[in-house]
Amino acid sequence: MKKLPFIGTTHNKLLLIGSTIGIVLTLGLTAFMSLSEAEAQSSAEAAGSIAQVTGDQGAKPLPPQDLSGEAENPPDNEPTAAIELPPIQDLTSSDTILAVDAATCIPKDAAHQVGSVIDVIDTDRLSVLIDDDLSTVKYLGLDTQSSNGQVQEAALSTNQSLIGQTITLVSNGSDADGNLLSYVFTDDAFINQYFLENGLATAASAPPDETCGEDFQAAQDRARSQKAGIWEPLKPSDWREWPIVPEISDYAVEIYLRGLESSVNPDSFSIIGDCLSIPERLFRKVSWGDFELPEGLEDLQSTVEQFKSVWNRQPVTVDGGFVPASVFSSYFSDPDRCGAYETPLDCEFRINNPSIVFISMGTDQRPGTEEEFEFYMREIIEYSIGRDVLPIIVTKADPTEEEFPLNFIMAQLAYEYDLPLWNFWAAVQHLPNTALNPVTGIHLTAEGNAIRRLSALQVLDAILTAAQN
């Protein structure tokens, strides 16, 4: 047989070897592609899991806002995104000057101590080794305890980043618990101010030291304007964590002030509600001569005086069995006070001319009609804003349906329109049976009504204060 010029290999053998090599290469390439696809899929799934856990926190748009990403029935254990903070760096000084020397509110002759952070006790206290003695240092001029859980976690994380660092303290005595009250500095950061700049605390300037009070208030104002940390509105799915008395937004103040400039009565508010809001249960007691504010709430007296003309008033838009749709039907109007074809809502706004309106509905809404509830709640809100009247949305305490979907809808609307949400639900969770009458399961106990009355006064006062500022 004729030899081919390939190292003496015959033609048939060459074909056999070539075929074998081709099969091996094909199998190898197939396995490699399968492995690559599996790795890519695994990486994509891991990235998706990380994205689901960490999620980006976008800036809240101006009202009305997009809520397309909110689930209709969010789980109680929905993961929340971590707050991303800038690295601790100097907020007051140049690169060449120590932060303690650059802090303009600290007297130049103030005594300094140097220590090493050994451990973190809580959001506002550090365990610090000073001259071989272990001391508990508490941030001076801050309140970190009133923030929500997510913000407190960020505060703890910030403190933990200080462990092992050398810090400088400017202290002013100790509190009753022996905590060393201090302004805390690293070489290039004023930590107290860092907390305020990033919304991890609120300013609490008070004796024994008000040295940095103005600077701290300015830092807090910057964080609030940027909606950072504690000032970032919670998502509607977290409505159970929303405060009882809301932070009044700039947009809400704008509506209120616009009403005062038009022609609304600054001494009048209205209520759109059901049986829980009739005067006998809610506000009538405020008009009694022997009504006294509890200790610690005496500063609400000016609010009591401002609205004295409406405490005993029966709104046209309040009645047993009312749902949001009711106030749009002339059938439910008071014939003695309203026109023949006038709706309760038109009638109430005409005869009372309110500057503020409480929307407190849901007890009589039939389960399964959540879409109808949302539609008419939205109609009430837009009707009110269109007349320069500030709406206040009120959550309810009675569980007439599982998982409180109506409260979730209220939080959605408050978030979307940037309106105050008076979270009455949160105000009574600590009480037996959440302050509900054990017989009816709907009406409030005397203690529940008292809390409802006082927290409503606080909400009104918050609006007046925000408008004045």
For residue range 303-320, what is the model confidence (pLDDT) as tens digits?
999 999 999 999 999 999
Least reliable range by pLDDT among 222-236, 254-268, 421-435: 222-236
Query: What was the pLDDT predicted at 15?
Result: 37
Confidence of residue 208 (pLDDT cuts 50, 70, 90): low
Kindly state whether residues 267 and 225 are assigned to the same domain.
Answer: no
Among 46-50, 85-89, 148-152, 225-229, top mean pLDDT goes to 225-229
Beta bridge partners of 422: 394
Packing angle between helix 250-262 and helix 446-468, nearest 10 degrees?
80
Q: Does 186 fall in a domain?
A: yes
For residue range 277-306, what is the model confidence (pLDDT) as tens digits?
999 999 999 999 889 999 989 999 999 999
Kindly state whether residues 208 and 267 are assigned to the same domain.
Answer: no
Q: Does 154 fall in a domain?
A: yes
Kindly state whether residues 188 and 300 are assigned to the same domain.
Answer: no
Pairwise CA distance, residues 55 & 232, whole Å:
15
Pairwise CA distance, residues 109 & 97, whole Å:
16
Kindly state whether residues 396 and 250 are assigned to the same domain.
Answer: yes
Q: What percent of the chain has pLDDT over 90?
A: 61
Average pLDDT over residues 8-31: 42
On whether the CB atoms of residues 326 and 364 are closer than 8 A, the answer is: no
Q: Does 394 fall in a domain?
A: yes
Query: What was the pLDDT predicted at 402?
Result: 80
Least reliable range by pLDDT among 54-68, 211-225, 281-295: 54-68
Residue 169 has pLDDT above 50, yes or no: yes
Query: What was the pLDDT predicted at 6?
Result: 32
Question: End of a domain among 196, 212, 231?
Answer: 231
Q: Does 417 fall in a domain?
A: yes
Phi, psi at 146, each rounded to 5°? -90, 5
Query: What was the pLDDT predicted at 181?
Result: 92
Query: What was the pLDDT predicted at 209?
Result: 67
Query: What was the pLDDT predicted at 83?
Result: 62
Kindly state whether residues 140 and 244 are assigned to the same domain.
Answer: no
Query: What was the pLDDT predicted at 44?
Result: 39
Q: Does 78 fall in a domain?
A: no
User: What is the strand order of the sheet 390-394 is part of?
Assistant: 269-273, 356-360, 390-394, 421-422
Query: What was the pLDDT predicted at 77?
Result: 43
Beta bridge partners of 185: 168, 190
Closest by CA to 54, choosing from 159, 143, 150, 165, is 150
Pairwise CA distance, residues 385 & 262, whole Å:
13
Question: End of a domain among 203, 231, 259?
Answer: 231
Kindly state whether residues 113 and 206 are assigned to the same domain.
Answer: yes
Kindly state whether residues 160 and 269 are assigned to the same domain.
Answer: no
- For residue 157 the two structure tokens come to 């994380």
Query: What was the pLDDT predicted at 150?
Result: 79
> What is the domain count for the chain?
2
Kindly state whether residues 451 and 320 are assigned to the same domain.
Answer: yes
Domain membership of residue 214 as a residue range: 99-231
Q: Does 83 fall in a domain?
A: no
Confidence of residue 342 (pLDDT cuts 50, 70, 90): very high
CATH of the domain at 174: 2.40.50.90
Q: What percent of the chain has pLDDT over 70?
A: 78
Average pLDDT over residues 131-140: 94
Confidence of residue 84 (pLDDT cuts 50, 70, 90): low
Average pLDDT over residues 351-365: 96
Kindly state whether residues 190 and 205 are assigned to the same domain.
Answer: yes
Could you tell me whether strands 125-130 and 133-139 are parallel, antiparallel, or unpaired per DSSP bridges? antiparallel
Pairwise CA distance, residues 201 & 141, whole Å:
10
Q: Does 452 fall in a domain?
A: yes
Least reliable range by pLDDT among 53-67, 117-131, 180-194, 201-215: 53-67
Kindly state whether residues 214 and 242 are assigned to the same domain.
Answer: no
Kindly state whether residues 276 and 163 are assigned to the same domain.
Answer: no
Confidence of residue 392 (pLDDT cuts 50, 70, 90): very high
Q: What is the mean pLDDT of the chain?
A: 82
CATH of the domain at 327: 3.40.50.1110
Query: What was the pLDDT predicted at 226?
Result: 87
Average pLDDT over residues 426-452: 93
Least reliable range by pLDDT among 101-110, 194-203, 375-384: 101-110
Average pLDDT over residues 222-232: 87
Kindly state whether residues 267 and 197 are assigned to the same domain.
Answer: no
Question: End of a domain among 198, 231, 264?
Answer: 231
Q: pTM for this structure?
A: 0.65
Residue 406 has pLDDT above 90, yes or no: yes
Q: Does 250 fall in a domain?
A: yes
